[in-house]
């Protein structure tokens, strides 16, 4: 069984989905189960709201292939807008997806609650980083000058910039340094800012710091958080979205501005304990989970226990409606 990931990969600093799918593709290639040409693959993995037109064309041309939809969000909760886009994702998934992979249990429950997204085969698989890049390195922990770091490729305010502004104004910078890597909608007075960098450089920067901070709201499965944890950084994260699932005992959760500094200090005092409790995020294991999920559907198709969804005249009609919805969503976004 061969898998193709239908996605426009970016080789520049980009969002978490791009970074994860690159790592997943690398693992599939190493196992000899990746197919570069979608027409030759047995299973097509497509992502969120991307490449719908190509997915539909391939589904129509090769009706026996298995199509698996990797879903995050809901985008409406993550971005504070784009509910129309979530509706489009739901409707398209209903037409084409034989299986759905949610990135976290929180992601699954919220999509189910808000949009009733479902399929014959559903599972939850967390993301994982490229283990050759994001890995723990031996370094000393200096309690006299503790180095904190936050990362966000997106400049959306929901990524936690109100909290970062609070830390910029209230953190004791005689004791702490705080670095932000990514795109920020505001200028900081005390926080050191670094523009987005490639994964290799980001891993080096992470390993120069002690504790990871994330205040992103409704984040289903933060790739940046996973990368930091994989570099051995205990985390202090907003108690929201998929953060609790990822951190487990490898850090502390805060609920508001008023308790974040207290949580940071708690991690500082018990640093090595929290570091020892950081969960493992293995790209090898995640790739195996993706493969096994796809294999179940593929084998059931081969055994004629399941028939992949087909493109019918009714499906084409609904897809035409989706294209109109996409055009309206794009126009609405431009007008906002």
Distance from chain centroid for Cα 84: 20
Residue 218: pLDDT above 80? yes
With the C-alpha atoms ordered 191, 196, 201, 202, is the resulting torsion angle positive or negative?
positive
**Domain span at 199:** 146-276
Residues 268 and 296 in one domain: no
Contact residues for 277 (Cβ-Cβ < 8 A; gap 6+): 248, 249, 250
Residues 7 and 119 in one domain: yes
Residues 123 and 179 in one domain: no
- Where residue 322 sits, what CATH number does that domain have? 3.40.50.2000
Residues 57 and 100 in one domain: yes
Please check whether residue 137 lies inside any domain of the structure. no
Residues 163 and 227 in one domain: yes
Q: Tell me the H-state helices in 181-282.
A: 199-206, 223-230, 243-247, 257-269, 271-276
Using CA atoms, how far apart are residues 89 and 97, in angstroms rounded to an integer?
A: 11
pLDDT band, very low/low/confident/very high, at 317 (cuts 50, 70, 90): confident
Q: What is the mean pLDDT of residues 287-293?
A: 98
Report how many domains make up the chain: 2
Residue 10: pLDDT above 90? no
Residues 96 and 158 in one domain: no
Please check whether residue 23 lies inside any domain of the structure. yes
Output the pTM of the full model: 0.90
Q: What is the pLDDT of residue 279?
A: 97
pLDDT tens column, 35-80 = 999 999 999 999 988 888 899 999 999 999 999 999 998 888 888 7
Residues 32 and 8 in one domain: yes
Return the axis-axis angle of helices 313-335 and 83-96, rounded to nearest 10°. Answer: 160
Q: What is the mean pLDDT of residues 224-231?
A: 97
Please check whether residue 50 lies inside any domain of the structure. yes
Per the CB < 8 A criterion, the answer to whether 110 and 74 are in contact is yes
Residues 160 and 248 in one domain: yes
Last residue of a domain, one of 237, 258, 276: 276
pLDDT tens column, 161-186 = 999 999 999 999 999 999 999 999 99
Please check whether residue 165 lies inside any domain of the structure. yes
Per the CB < 8 A criterion, the answer to whether 267 and 236 are in contact is yes
Residues 290 and 204 in one domain: no
Using CA atoms, how far apart are residues 246 and 225, in angstroms rounded to an integer?
A: 8
Residue 225: pLDDT above 90? yes
pLDDT band, very low/low/confident/very high, at 335 (cuts 50, 70, 90): very low
């Amino acid at each position: 069984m061969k898998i193709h990931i239908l996605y426009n990969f970016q080789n520049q600093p980009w969002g978490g989905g791009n970074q994860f799918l690159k790592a997943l593709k690398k693992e599939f290639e190493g196992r000899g189960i990746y197919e570069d040409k979608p027409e030759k693959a047995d299973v097509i993995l497509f992502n969120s709201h991307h490449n719908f037109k190509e997915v539909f064309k391939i589904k129509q041309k090769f009706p026996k292939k298995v199509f698996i939809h990797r879903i995050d969000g809901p985008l409406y909760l993550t971005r504070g807008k784009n509910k129309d886009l979530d509706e489009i994702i739901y409707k398209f998934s209903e037409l084409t997806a034989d299986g759905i992979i949610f990135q976290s249990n929180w992601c699954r429950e919220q999509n189910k609650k808000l949009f009733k997204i479902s399929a014959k085969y559903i599972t939850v698989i967390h993301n994982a980083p490229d283990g050759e890049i994001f890995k723990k390195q031996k370094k000393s922990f200096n309690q006299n000058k503790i180095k904190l770091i936050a990362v966000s490729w997106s400049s959306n305010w929901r990524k936690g910039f109100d909290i970062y502004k609070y830390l910029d104004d209230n953190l004791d910078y005689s004791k702490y340094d705080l670095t932000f890597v990514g795109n920020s909608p505001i200028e900081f007075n005390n926080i050191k800012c670094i523009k987005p960098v490639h994964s290799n450089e980001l891993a080096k920067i992470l390993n120069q710091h002690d504790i990871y901070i994330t205040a992103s709201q409704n984040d289903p499965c933060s790739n940046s958080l996973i990368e930091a944890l994989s570099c051995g950084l205990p985390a202090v994260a907003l108690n929201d979205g998929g953060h609790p699932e990822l951190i487990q005992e490898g850090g502390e959760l805060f609920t508001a501005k008023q308790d974040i500094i207290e949580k940071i200090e708690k991690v500082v005092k018990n640093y090595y304990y929290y570091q020892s409790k950081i969960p493992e995020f293995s790209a090898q294991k995640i790739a195996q989970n993706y493969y096994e999920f796809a294999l179940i559907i593929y084998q059931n198709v081969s055994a004629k226990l399941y028939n992949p969804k087909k493109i019918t005249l009714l499906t084409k009609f609904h897809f035409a409606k989706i294209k109109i919805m996409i055009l309206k969503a794009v126009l609405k976004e431009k007008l906002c």
